[in-house]
């Protein structure tokens, strides 16, 4: 049985728990077009506190919660007293009195941890500077759907050692697949790794050797906008394009969490090619997050 109260990081879950979440998400996806009415969140209220913009995370959570019978309240930093300095420990305890769960998109991961410490309701990470676990679960589900075995695949990460890269490392360490990251010096992932299945190089060509899937993300994440010009120079050799992919496995697939900067970290033709799983990846946020909510409310 899954014991964790919160969903802050993939590393907080076991291999069996992650595989069971993914299996449930695939079942939920199949049910969506059936006449079967399933409303486990009936009468529940879920808050979404977002300190950064969002298209996919906000809309997929809001729609998913409605589909499960629950109600959502969207809270931006501007709307609540945290924006005027109310301590998190006070806000967390008060919000716990009204809400049944809270999805948070924020900057420092310690903000999420502080919420989790003081909340009596489940806290779900909708992206922090350190992790983006809901997205990587959706990525893994998308790979399973095309028959890739998550325990034996070869995955490559090209570009910034950011929140997505950190969550990919967590996933590789929990599930055991091989993950080769190529990041420029000074932009390594923050999550420590010492397992033999995870490696880091400066050379994208080396990282994509034999890859079944190649993932990338923007060179400047939200909150790093003032570094964008410098980063464009540093990351120049880290673009996912057809030339790079020709060094990968015979049938290599491409993931990008979106939003993408076409012509920077990935080319337009790769996004639009039949290697791209990007649209299914975005859709699967909806199904994976419903499985996460169901699991948290059941535990």
Query: Does the annotation count 135 as an active-site position?
Result: yes
From the list 51, 47, 52, the residue with the least C-alpha distance to 62 is 47
Query: Does the annotation count 132 as an active-site position?
Result: yes
> Cβ neighbours of residue 159 under 8 Å, at least 6 residues apart?
165, 182, 183, 216, 217, 219, 235, 238, 240, 265
Taking the C-alpha atoms of residue 159 and residue 162, their distance in angstroms, rounded to an integer, is 9
The site string for ligand NVA over 241-260 (x = CB under 6 A, - otherwise) reads ----------------x---
Could you tell me the smallest distance in angstroms from the CB atom of residue 56 to ligand CP?
Answer: 4
> Cβ neighbours of residue 118 under 8 Å, at least 6 residues apart?
88, 89, 92, 93, 96
Check if the beta carbon of residue 130 is closer than 8 Å to that of residue 157.
no
Taking the C-alpha atoms of residue 140 and residue 196, their distance in angstroms, rounded to an integer, is 20
Residue 85 corresponds to which tokens in the numbers above? 């300095």
With respect to ligand CP, which residue has the nearer C-beta, 175 or 286? Answer: 286
Q: Which does 190 bind (CB under 5 to 8 A by kind): ligand NVA, ligand CP, none?
A: none
3-state secondary structure of 50: strand
Query: Does the annotation count 109 as an active-site position?
Result: no
Active-site annotation holder among 12, 129, 257, 289: 257
Check if the beta carbon of residue 155 is closer than 8 Å to that of residue 215.
yes
Could you say which residues in the range 130-169 bind ligand NVA, by CB under 6 A? 132, 162-164
Query: Does the annotation count 262 as an active-site position?
Result: no
With respect to ligand CP, which residue has the nearer C-beta, 96 or 254? Answer: 254
Stretch touching ligand CP by CB under 6 A, among 7-15, 50-58, 109-117, 203-211 = 50-58
Q: Which residue is associated with the tokens 């809001």?
A: 62
Stretch touching ligand NVA by CB under 6 A, among 97-105, 107-115, 214-222, 242-250 = 214-222
Could you say which residues in the range 77-136 bind ligand CP, by CB under 6 A? 127, 135
Could you tell me the smallest distance in angstroms from the CB atom of residue 37 to ligand NVA?
Answer: 32
- Where do contacts with ligand CP occur on this chain (CB under 6 A)? 54-57, 127, 135, 257-258
Q: Residues interacting with ligand NVA, by CB under 6 A?
A: 127, 132, 162-164, 217-218, 221-222, 257
């Amino acid at each position: 049985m899954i014991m964790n109260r919160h969903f802050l990081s993939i590393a907080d879950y076991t291999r069996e728990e992650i595989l069971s979440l993914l299996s449930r998400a695939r079942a939920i996806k199949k049910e969506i077009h059936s006449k079967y009415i399933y409303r486990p969140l009936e009468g529940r209220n879920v808050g979404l506190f977002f300190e950064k913009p969002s298209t996919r995370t906000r809309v997929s959570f809001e729609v998913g919660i409605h589909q499960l019978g629950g109600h959502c309240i969207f809270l931006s930093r501007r709307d609540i007293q945290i924006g005027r300095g109310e301590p998190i420990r006070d806000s967390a305890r008060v919000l716990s009195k009204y809400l049944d769960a809270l999805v948070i998109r924020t900057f420092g991961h310690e903000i999420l941890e502080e919420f989790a410490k003081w909340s009596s309701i489940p806290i779900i990470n909708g992206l922090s500077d350190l992790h983006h676990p809901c997205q990587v679960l959706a990525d893994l589900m998308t790979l399973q759907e095309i028959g890739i075995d998550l325990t034996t695949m070869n995955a490559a990460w090209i570009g910034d050692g950011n929140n997505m890269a950190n969550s990919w490392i967590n996933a590789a360490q929990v599930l055991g697949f091989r993950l080769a990251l190529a990041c420029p010096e000074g932009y390594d992932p923050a999550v420590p790794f010492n397992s033999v299945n995870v490696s880091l190089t400066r050379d994208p060509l080396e990282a994509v050797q034999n890859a079944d899937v190649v993932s990338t993300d923007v060179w400047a994440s939200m909150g790093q906008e003032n570094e964008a010009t410098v980063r464009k120079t540093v990351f120049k050799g880290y673009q996912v394009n057809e030339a790079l992919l020709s060094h990968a496995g015979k049938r290599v697939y491409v993931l990008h969490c979106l939003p993408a900067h076409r012509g920077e970290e990935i080319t337009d033709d790769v996004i639009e090619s039949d290697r791209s799983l990007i649209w299914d990846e975005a859709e699967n946020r909806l199904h994976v997050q419903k499985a996460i909510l169901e699991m948290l409310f059941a535990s």
